[in-house]
């Protein structure tokens, strides 16, 4: 990374991240505006 002058990155272990469901009130925001949650856009393995 240093050779290419990339910015420093932070990597978190998967077992460190705590996942909570998105509440329905926030989900409704998607219908009102042109909004998408990152979780709905990125691709990932279901096991994670």
Please write the tens of the pLDDT for every residue from 8-33.
888 889 888 888 888 888 877 777 77
Q: How confident is the model at residue 37 (pLDDT cuts 50, 70, 90)?
A: confident
Cβ-in-10-Å burial (0-12, 13-18, 19+) of 36 comes to exposed
Q: What is the largest CA-CA distance in the chain?
A: 46
- Count of structural domains within the chain: 1
* 23 lies in some domain: yes
**Per the domain annotation, does 36 fall within a domain?**
yes
**Which residues constitute the domain of residue 33?**
14-48
Calpha distance 32→27 (Å, rounded) = 10
Tell if the pTM clears 0.85, that is, is over it: no
Contact between 36 and 30 under an 8 Å Cβ cutoff? The reply is yes
Please check whether residue 4 lies inside any domain of the structure: no
Is 8 domain-assigned?
A: no
Under the banding of pLDDT at 50, 70 and 90, the label for residue 6 is confident
Looking at the domain assignment, is residue 20 inside a domain? yes
Residue 22 lies in a domain: yes
Q: Is residue 3, in this structure, part of any structural domain at all?
A: no
């Amino acid at each position: 990374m240093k050779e290419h002058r990339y910015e420093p990155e932070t990597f978190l272990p998967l077992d460190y991240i705590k996942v909570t469901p998105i509440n329905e009130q926030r989900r409704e925001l998607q219908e009102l505006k042109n909004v998408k949650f990152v979780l709905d856009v990125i691709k990932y393995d279901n096991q994670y």
